Amino acid sequence: LLGPDGAPAPTIFAEMTALARRTGALNLGQGFPDEPGPPEVTEAAIRAIRDGVNQYSPGRGEPDLIAAIAEHQRRFHGISLEDPQILVTAGATEALAATLLSQLNPGDEIVVLEPYYDAYVALAALAGAQIVPVELHGPDYRLDLERLRTAVTDRTAVILVNSPHNPTGAVLAPEALDAIIALAHRHDALIVTDEVYEHLTYEAPHVPIAARPGGFERTLSISSAGKVFSVTGWKIGWVSGPAALIEQVMAIKQYLTFVSGAPFQPAVAVGLRLPDAFFEGLRTRYRAKRDLLVGALTEAGFAVSPPAAGYFALADAAPLGLADARTAVRELPGMAGVVAVPLGAFARPEREDLRSIVRFAFCKSDALLEDAAGRLRDLG
Ligand code: PMP
Ligand code: GLN
């Protein structure tokens, strides 16, 4: 986790956001929205602060938020949760940290889909566990079930699922989810699923692995308010699953942050109870943003993999003569006034097949995306 000089190596997101600030380029690197979030939700946080909700929350989270998470899981996914099956965390990141630290012992294996969200590998390293990557390949980044079957063995402690997937925007089909559940049962492994993009699906509604037959009993499901309510700085997330497993996660969580974000918790409860029209509107708006960016990148000459979900589009820069995305993203601010992230940052260096691919975020205002689209078209 340290760079060559012994200082903490910044994450690729922090590095690229600093590059955007320095150059004045449009930031399509780090995935955070620039819209304000639903007023009902932000006003509720302001009200909570004024009403004095400013001290430590109960360890497992504000009871009203726990109730709202349960209602949300039932409304959208048909999953019935009891109170002790839910734990509120400081974002999905703490949920991941507490879950993985509670479930992995040194030397255990954890199966991850590669490319992977950067925190997975860092957290596995903190736990002393060994990553077993299952390679996803472009242009569609579909899960190869044969490859998965060779990766999961009796040494596997955790199968880490991320669907919708960051950075590819791919979604696991129900058959893939069922294959993962069957392997988890066969090899006595736990499934940890990161579903922070659950409401940003553009082709078909999200299917949680915990809602599939046999899934719930061996799954810890993680989500977050950051993406769905455009409040990534609030850092309110949650993990749900069988009560005995939640207790184990809690044992770690209480010494990571103890609790966090007291006034944001009732505000997120308001958000989770918003009518269906809010969630449908979010999907419709983001689908249009995806199409705008995918169109501009295609016109500019990139080979684009249109994502089924999430915040990001992957674009191969090789047709533009840019063979190395790590170099290309450092030249893009000068060439096009746009910042993006190299896909290689989400994979082992040996993944040569990902070398020329760039990740662009489209969770931005239409005005900013139009501006970026114009700049990218000029590039072509
Ligand atoms: N998982 C994935 C796949 C993400 O993309 C992110 C961040 N955007 C997180 C987890 C972290 O979520 P949070 O900000 O709620 O900690
Ligand atoms: N999840 C966001 C992304 O993928 C960034 C989060 C972060 O900066 N750690 O861009």
Q: Which residues contact 284 (CB under 8 A, 6 or more apart)?
A: none
pLDDT at 8 (0 to 100): 78
Give me the percent of the chain exceeding a pLDDT of 70. Answer: 100
Rg (CA), the chain: 20
The DSSP output letter for 194 is E
Which of 93, 116, 253 has the most ligand 1 atoms within 8 A of CB, as the residue to mutate?
93
Question: Does ligand 1 lie within 6 Å of residue 31's CB atom?
Answer: yes
pTM (two decimals):
0.97
Give me the percent of the chain exceeding a pLDDT of 90. Answer: 96
**pLDDT band at residue 6 using 50, 70 and 90 as cut-offs:** confident
**What is the mean pLDDT of the segment spanning 125-148?**
98
Maximum separation of any 2 CA atoms in the chain, in Å: 58
Residue range 206-252, pLDDT digits in tens? 999 999 999 999 999 999 999 999 999 999 999 999 999 999 999 99
- Please provide the average confidence, as pLDDT, over all residues in the chain: 96
pLDDT at 379 (0 to 100): 83
Coil, helix or strand at residue 224: strand
**What is the mean pLDDT of the segment spanning 280-303?**
97
Residue range 156-177, pLDDT digits in tens? 999 999 999 999 999 999 999 9
**What is the mean pLDDT of the segment spanning 61-77?**
98
pLDDT at 278 (0 to 100): 98
pLDDT at 137 (0 to 100): 98
Please calculate the CA angle 116-214-250 and round it to the nearest 5 degrees: 60
Cβ atoms of 326 and 241 within 8 Å: the answer is no
Check pLDDT > 90 for residue 9. no
- Domains parsed from the chain with CATH numbers: 12-30+277-379 (3.90.1150.10), 39-272 (3.40.640.10)
Question: Does ligand 1 lie within 6 Å of residue 117's CB atom?
Answer: yes
Atom 15 (ligand 1) nearest CA: 91
Q: What is the complex's ipTM, to 2 decimals?
A: 0.97
**pLDDT band at residue 195 using 50, 70 and 90 as cut-offs:** very high
Give helix then strand counts, H and E, for the chain.
13, 13
Cβ atoms of 299 and 99 within 8 Å: the answer is no
Check pLDDT > 80 for residue 1. no
Q: Which residues contact 213 (CB under 8 A, 6 or more apart)?
A: 178, 181
Cβ atoms of 20 and 337 within 8 Å: the answer is no
**pLDDT band at residue 34 using 50, 70 and 90 as cut-offs:** very high
Cβ atoms of 215 and 297 within 8 Å: the answer is no
Question: Does ligand 2 lie within 6 Å of residue 42's CB atom?
Answer: no
Question: Does ligand 2 lie within 6 Å of residue 30's CB atom?
Answer: yes
Question: How many angstroms separate the alpha carbon of residue 324 from the centre of ligand 1?
Answer: 26
pLDDT at 4 (0 to 100): 73
